[in-house]
Amino acid sequence: MQPLLCRGLVYPLLAALALLAGCASTPVYSPQGAPFASGYAQQRVDERHWRVEYYGSPRASRALVERYLLFRSAELTTGSGYQWFATIDHLTDTEIVIYAPPLPGRAPPHGGRYGDLGMRGPVSRPPSFDRFVSRQTIEMGLGAAPPGAFNASAVEQLLAPAVLQSRAHAG
């Protein structure tokens, strides 16, 4: 009888741990805090145009990176007082990030410490990873939207639940 009792407790515990592990591995929607980090970045081109980028983590799917880029574009549009945005150019590609040790007598790149990269002691090969990066330039406007344009508030309403969920799991 004892093995059944243990099995009855172990399976729910394993299921709960798997659920927590799945939540912890969900990439989080946030600004890019440092070089090589995941997150969004943007640059204003002029009054009605932005260059928007989203850098995925090694765990982020292409679809997730593009979804976060679309959401950030909608946020910028409504935050700038516009109703719609149209994509002028769009590119999603794979980027290979390689951490290389500094030259002798020089500090690690970007002011970091190798401990931040999980490196301890001599490393025979620099750590690297692949990730998706999505970039686009958007044009924003008011009134009647051109064909193919996105309604910014509708995009935000549609995607906000998943984006806010990713932020909640990060904390």
Q: What is the CATH number of the domain that holds 85?
A: 3.30.1360
**37: domain range?**
29-98+125-166
Q: Is residue 120 part of a domain?
A: no
Tallying the residues shown for the chain, one arrives at 171
Q: Is residue 13 part of a domain?
A: no
Residues 149 and 87: their CA atoms lie apart, in Å, by 7
Q: What is the number of domains present in the chain? A: 1
Q: How confident is the model at residue 21 (pLDDT cuts 50, 70, 90)?
A: very low
Give 71-120 pLDDT, tens digit per residue.
Answer: 999 999 999 999 999 999 998 888 888 777 666 766 555 555 544 444 55
Residues 50 and 59: their CA atoms lie apart, in Å, by 27
Q: Which two tokens stand for residue 74?
A: 């909608």
The pTM score is 0.70
Q: What's 108-123 look like in SS3?
A: CHHHCCHHHHCCCCCC
